[in-house]
Structure formats: structure tokens, C-alpha cells
Amino acid sequence: MGYQGSLISVTGERVMRKQQQGMTTIGMIILVAFIGIFGYGILQMVPVYLESMRIQQVLNQTKENLDGQKATVAEIRSSLSKGLTTNSLYDLSSRKDFEVKRLADGYEVIAEYERERDFVANVYLLAKFNHSVQINR
């Protein structure tokens, strides 16, 4: 018949079934747990990305200060050291963490590094960065 989803009451009237709507408590708990874990991961990675932005800023300041001034490798490293200190990046070294490559028309300064943060138990979050600038003579 054409009355699917309806019931017949004791008095013989057709009564429509009430449709279930909404989310169960278990579904809500799972959703909140998923959002919480995702949010925790984001909170762990925010400082890493802020540090990356400061490193890019140091590289850009070094380029701005030395571009077109026939800078030497020692002057580039000195400028990087000052920028790292100014931006409170004390766990980085201008000698170990930055590579200065000689090019035909200047230098390329490269910061290639990884940052690892604890997440849950033996699971870690890893971010890899590669920043570079070219300093012309």
C-alpha cells in the first residue's frame, strides 16, 4: 500500500511514525574526542610554524642588509647570528643550521631543517622546512 512508515492505532487511525533525529551520546563523545585530538596537534605545531616565520624573517633581513654590497661569507654569517639573537632563536646556529653556497653572482643562504614534537605516546608530529634567499653582489 501507499502508507509506508505509518502505523494503525487501536482506534483504526493511521498515525505517522516519529522520525529519529539528532546525534547519540556516543557519537557526540567520539566527535568531541576527534576534535580534541586534532586541536591538541594544532597547538603542538603552532610554535613550530611561528619559529619558521621568524627564521624566514631573519633570512629576509640578511638579504635586505647585504644585497648588492659585495658581502663575504663571514659577513653573511655575522648578520644571521645577529638576526637569530634579535629574534630569540637561541637553539639555532648560523654556522651549523644555515648553509651558504657560492653562486656566480653572489650567495645563496639556505635553512633546511626539521622540527619534531611529541604528540601521544610514541607518536610524533614532524614538520620539514626549507627556506632560502639569494644575496647578490
In DSSP notation, 3-50 reads -TTEEE-TTS-EEEPPPP-S--HHHHHHHHHHHHHHHHHHHHHHHHHH
What pLDDT does residue 13 have? 62
pLDDT for the residue 9:
58
Residues in the chain with pLDDT values less than 50: 1
Is the pTM value of this prediction over 0.85? no
From CA 81, how far away is CA 73, in angstroms rounded? Answer: 12
Side-chain-side CA neighbours of 63 within 13 Å: the count stands at: 16
**Which phi and psi (to 5°) does residue 74 adopt?**
-60, -40
> What 3-state class would DSSP assign to 80?
helix
Decide if 25 contacts 16 (C-beta within 8 A).
no
pLDDT of residue 134: 95
